[in-house]
Structure 1
Amino acid sequence: MTGAPVQGPPPAASRPQGRTPRRGLALLGPLGFGAAAAVGAVVVAFVDPHEPGHYPTCPSLGLTGWYCPGCGGLRMTYSLLHGDVAQAFGMNPLIMLMLPVFAYLWVRWTVSAARGVPMRSALLRPRVLYAFMGVLGVYWIVRNLPFAQALAP
């Protein structure tokens, strides 16, 4: 059979330089997440979660009476945005200590998306994630015990 030869993708040297559409789409995730976090921070900065009635009650606290690992997170954010680091730490020490890790992971995600490569980080390996889930579970229990009231918001 004769016919037109099947052409594959052009060689790398003849491809246009610069950002490919796929990289632009890959950036939508981290940039959208960052924008949503910024909008959330602005809302929390102006609507004080220390005053009852502004935000819904934590479902875990409402159903069980136990503080979940995230309880106090909104008040922590409000205190941080208003420069009161000590009060923020008192609202949720675990999240406060994890903020630099979350920021690092977001920057890695953004840089990886901009480069068009998959994100790889030792912090995302299964062992590390399982250990983090274990820490969350222990924190959830311990912050509700009588001797650890300092961990309660």
Structure 2
Amino acid sequence: MNASGRPAPPRAPARRPAPLAPVRRLASRGPVRRLAVPVALLAAVAGAFAYVGAVDPDEPGHYPVCPLYRLTGLYCPGCGGLRGAHALVHGDLLTALRDNALGVAGALGFAVLWTLWAARAARGRPPLPGLPPAGLWAAGALVLVFTVVRNLPFGGWLRP
């Protein structure tokens, strides 16, 4: 009811934008604006890799020790990741794989996905859709299996 005591007129249903409206908005932006976020993310990742490449993780006192390893003696999925990133920056792929194979695979996956994202953004296309739930579960299972195997006696080749 409104202030005069009469029933309020029915509201018109909210108008939904056309499904392609975000795509049109993205395509109407200039290439510099479309690439701003991918380039900013790449700059942040490159800065982190540059720092790890300049400051050796094998020298004590520069990075904290993994809390899980310190408390339990077990390796988490990230243990050896800084040493692996340091080796990658210096072009030593075999050492990087020995330190943390999952981290190297993650860096490769990031490079591929970032390239696809930047190419689509440059053309004014929307980013790729995310992983379906089954893909996320598979990625989580892979990380879990990697973590368990590297802590078992026969998984010593996966330890940093």
TM bin, normalised by shorter chain, reads: 0.7 to 0.9
Task: Give me the whole-angstrom Cα distance separating, in 2, the residues matched to 1:115 and 1:60.
Answer: 44
1:25 deviation in Å? 4.6
Superposed displacement of residue 152, structure 1: 0.8
Which shifted more, 109-118 or 83-92?
A: 109-118
Aligned residues with identical type, % of pairs: 44
2: CA distance, partners of 1:102 / 1:62 = 29
The question of 1:144 aligning with 2:145 is answered no
Number of residue pairs matched by the alignment: 134
2:49 corresponds in structure 1 to 41
Alignment of 1:46-61 (within 5 A): 46-61=54-69
Hey, what does 1:94 align to over in structure 2?
A: 102
- Distance change (3 Å), C-alpha of 1:120 and 1:78: same
Match of residue 138 from structure 2: 131
Question: Which residue of 2 is the match for residue 10 of structure 1?
Answer: none
- What's the C-alpha RMSD, in Å, of the aligned pairs? 2.2
**Deviation at residue 119 of structure 1 after TM alignment:** 1.8
Q: Give the letter for the 1:44 counterpart.
A: V
**When the two structures are superposed, what TM-score results if normalisation uses the length of structure 1?**
0.75
Q: 1:76 to 1:118 in 2, by over 3 A?
A: same
**SS of the residue aligned with 1:124?**
coil
Alignment equivalent of 1:73, drawn from 81, 85, 91: 81
Cα distance, 1:24 vs structure 2: 4.7
Tell me, in whole angstroms, the C-alpha distance in 2 between the residues paired with 1:47 and 1:30.
Answer: 26
Specify whether residues 113 and 64 from structure 1 end up closer, same or farther in structure 2 by C-alpha distance, changes over 3 A only: farther
| Letter of the 1:139 counterpart | F
Work out which of the two has the higher radius of gyration on C-alpha atoms and give 1 or 2. 2
TM-score (norm 2): 0.72
Deviations 1:30-74 (A, max 9, x none): 211100111111111110001121111223323443211111111
